[in-house]
A and B are shown apart, each in its own frame.
Chain A
Amino acid sequence: MQVTETNAEGLKREYKVRVEKDEIDQKVQDRLKEVGQQARIPGFRPGKAPMSILRQRFGKAVLGEVLERAVNDSSQQAMEERGLRPIQQPQIEVESFDEDQDLEYKMSMEILPDIEPVEFSELSLERLKVQVPDSEVDEALERLASHHKDTQPLEEARPAEKGDVLVVDFKGSVDGEELPGMSGEDHHLELGSNRFVEGFEEQLVGAEQGETRHIRVTFPGTYQNEKLAGKDADFEVTVKEIRETQPVTIDDEFAKKFGEEDLEALKQRVREQIENDYAGLARQRVKRELLDKLSESHDFDVPPSMVEQEFQQIWHQIQHDREQGQLDAEDADKDEEQLKQDYRDIAVRRVRLGLLLSEIGRRANLEISQEEMNQALIQEVQRHPGHEREVFEFYQNNPEALSQLRAPLYEDKAVDYILELANVTEREVTTDELRKMIEEEAGASGDGDEAEGAGENKAAKKKSGAKKASGKSTAKKSGGGSKAKAKTAKAESDGASDKGADSDTSGES
């Protein structure tokens, strides 16, 4: 076997490999012998047929097989000898091969750059520790309470006010046509909750019990149901009952509703949850800081094809967002070229960090155990209620998708690993300070990159977005229809938004 390097530019490598025909011939013979042991040829007992006949019968097939293996083996060997680590399977172009000829092929690939991670102990990072003040816990409790208001029928008749809950029957029509889903009976509607189309609730303020009102509203252009978007609709609403909301007292009784012993226990739980949220935020911040530092202190070439791939992924997402009309405000006034350039930079950064982290992980022998994988899978599955089965199957049948699940896990582990080694100082801050800091930083680095801490997260999110797209398509097939699709899309955006905001404890009930 002869290997000659024909091109070594940047991270690209090209080789010309030549395998002598004797070598191949020998392999063919061996293989033929193996085949001959089993083959049934008329006139011969199995395993007794002479080589010449075997060659005539199976020669071509075996040759193809052997060549393929020879190419694989030799390319593998060539790479090993040179200690190359390609980012993906090398591209192989066979130039000549035949029965009595040397095998020649060209092999081109991109290799992983040599990465020399910095000494982690030189990194100094700051980890914020948050003390959750009691006031915050109380606030959360109150919010919780407001979601579980009791209502009571009015004792004295009076017109409806904001905050009241009306029991209504309603019937709606667009252009005189009644559509499904636009009518309801005994619907509990809280005025001011903005659950209905804008203007609907406002127009009910002042209604008396038993009164029937005609209401005219305009559906917003971005309404989920395409048929209704942007249309005017008439509603006929009968107010059956007006109920007054009762302020809820936060006490042991209240706590019991949530399955806790007493108020203290509930408080404890709420506090824990808040602490968790802040810990998550703080972690994100540290991670971001770490990634910033890492990307500052490393500068190596990045394989262009990987960047291109990442960029395509991002760009695809952007296009998708744009179609939905939800482009980042900051991007709106940039032109196409500028946008592309920006996102390409992000892609380079992401690929670089990704490579770096995986290199660090490799050096540290980090591994993702099967258990962790399963956990992640279960989490992912639970995010699609109603489609658990399909999502699960999707992952089972797609090892590639599974490896996408693995990526964020691995990344987290690598980050943890570095954090352990790095010089981390802890600082206590109050919740407000933390929030302010994060906001400031997000504003400062701004751009589509919205705080790099989330940057990597965003990558993960984006990836999961892509996955979901495929998951969704399976969901759609299963008959969920466009409604289900809209729902998942909504859930998705919800999930994305509450990550940044201080989260609501009411989710637990």
Chain B
Amino acid sequence: MSRGRIYKPSQVKLSGARMYDLVREPVITEKATMGSEHNQVTFRVPLWASKPEIKAAIEGLFSVRVKSVNTLRQNGKVKRFRGMPGKRPDTKKAYVTLEEGHSIDVTTGV
């Protein structure tokens, strides 16, 4: 991570509706709140979302500047219901680091 780099606005252009598709909900857990100390916010995003898209959506929706986006796929747990194996859907989380001086209050909702 190059600290001193100049902020580059996102190249991706998104329509309003698509932004809302991209950002499903904030993840509010102990682990996610740990990130808030480093100006990080966590969202659940669709599996198909890409980092530039997420960045554009967050910037568009919350009017903040995003420094970086880290994503991860979380595999759904294998569960059994009446002996039949089943699987919970996979999810994707995005750890969004904001530029200094910017913040999103996840507790108040969009």
Contacts and interface: CB of A to CB of B under 8 A. Distances in A.
Interface of A: 43-45, 48-50, 52-53, 56
Contacts of B105: 52
Interface of B: 27-30, 32-33, 36, 105, 107-108
B30 A48 contact: yes
Given A52-B107, A53-B107, A56-B107, A45 B30 contact: yes
B107 A43 contact: no
Nearest to A45: B30
Contacts of A53: 28, 33, 107
A50 B36 CA distance: 11
Contacts of B30: 43-45, 48-49
Given A43-B32, A44-B29, A50-B33, 16 more contacts: A43-B27, A43-B28, A43-B29, A43-B30, A44-B30, A45-B30, A48-B30, A49-B30, A50-B36, A52-B105, A52-B107, A53-B28, A53-B33, A53-B107, A56-B107, A56-B108
B39 to A, nearest CB: 15
Chain A to chain B: the 9 pairs with minimum beta-carbon distance, closest first = A43-B29, A56-B107, A44-B30, A50-B33, A52-B107, A43-B28, A48-B30, A53-B107, A43-B30
A52 B109 CA distance: 13
19 contacts: A43-B27, A43-B28, A43-B29, A43-B30, A43-B32, A44-B29, A44-B30, A45-B30, A48-B30, A49-B30, A50-B33, A50-B36, A52-B105, A52-B107, A53-B28, A53-B33, A53-B107, A56-B107, A56-B108
A52 to B, nearest CB: 5
Nearest to B34: A50
Nearest to A44: B30
A59 to B, nearest CB: 11
Nearest to B32: A43
A56 B105 CA distance: 11
A328 B108 CA distance: 73
A44 B107 CA distance: 14
Nearest to A52: B107
Contacts of B27: 43
Contacts of A56: 107-108
